[in-house]
């Protein structure tokens, strides 16, 4: 590289641009302890798609984060789509969440019932998920407008499976 002749300057600029593009912007503003905690939490996603928030907090504490920093890190990771935090549950693998919710959306019996999902069927639809997680999954479905609860806690409606009803109007041909 020669500054006087310009030899290699274009290659240097291209290398700098590639390196800058590879750096995650959020990494530039987070303290190293936050990055270490984030990486440790996300590293658990391979083995467990969800954890309790107190487990998330314990990982953060091992990396020197206090309660306020832990809450801020969780909020930031949630807003970046790295995790989904809902009450006291942290979904470490958002793709797992999509697939798990998709089991309800794809459920034949729910579709045949025109979108009515009986709470009692959740064990059949989500046999691998702990019972304590099911209410969180249902509330997340509500939050994402994939279901709603019209008449209490044990009946859910999945609007995607509802049939369209168009009343006959006497003045329309």
Per-residue confidence (pLDDT) for residue 168, from 0 to 100: 55
Out of 3.40.190.10, 3.60.21.10, 1.10.760.10, 1.10.10.2200, which CATH number does the structure's domain 95-161 have? 1.10.10.2200
Per-residue confidence (pLDDT) for residue 18, from 0 to 100: 73
Cα distances (Å, whole numbers) of residue 146 to 40, 106, 157, 161: 31, 12, 8, 10
Calpha distance 160→105 (Å, rounded): 8
50 vs 13, residue with greater confidence: 50
The domains of the chain are located at 30-92, 95-161
Calpha distance 95→107 (Å, rounded): 18
pLDDT band at 100 (very low <50, low <70, confident <90, very high): very high
CATH 3.40.50.2300 fits 30-92, yes or no: no
Helix and strand numbers (H, E) in the chain are 9, 5
29 vs 74, residue with greater confidence: 74
């Amino acid at each position: 590289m020669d500054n006087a002749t310009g030899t290699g300057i274009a290659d240097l600029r291209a290398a700098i641009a590639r390196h800058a593009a590879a750096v995650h912007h959020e990494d530039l503003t987070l303290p190293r302890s936050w990055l270490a905690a984030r990486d440790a939490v996300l590293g658990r996603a391979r083995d467990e798609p969800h954890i309790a928030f107190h487990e998330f907090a314990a990982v953060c504490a091992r990396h020197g984060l206090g309660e306020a920093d832990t809450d801020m890190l969780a909020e930031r990771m949630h807003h970046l789509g790295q995790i989904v935090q809902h009450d006291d549950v942290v979904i470490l693998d958002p793709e797992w969440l999509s697939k798990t919710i998709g089991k309800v959306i794809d459920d034949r019996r729910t579709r045949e019932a025109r979108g009515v999902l009986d709470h009692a069927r959740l064990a059949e639809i989500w046999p691998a998920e702990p019972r304590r997680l099911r209410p969180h999954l249902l509330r997340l479905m509500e939050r994402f407008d994939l279901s709603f609860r019209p008449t209490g806690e044990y009946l859910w409606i999945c609007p995607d499976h509802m049939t369209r009803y168009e009343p006959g109007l006497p003045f329309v041909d």
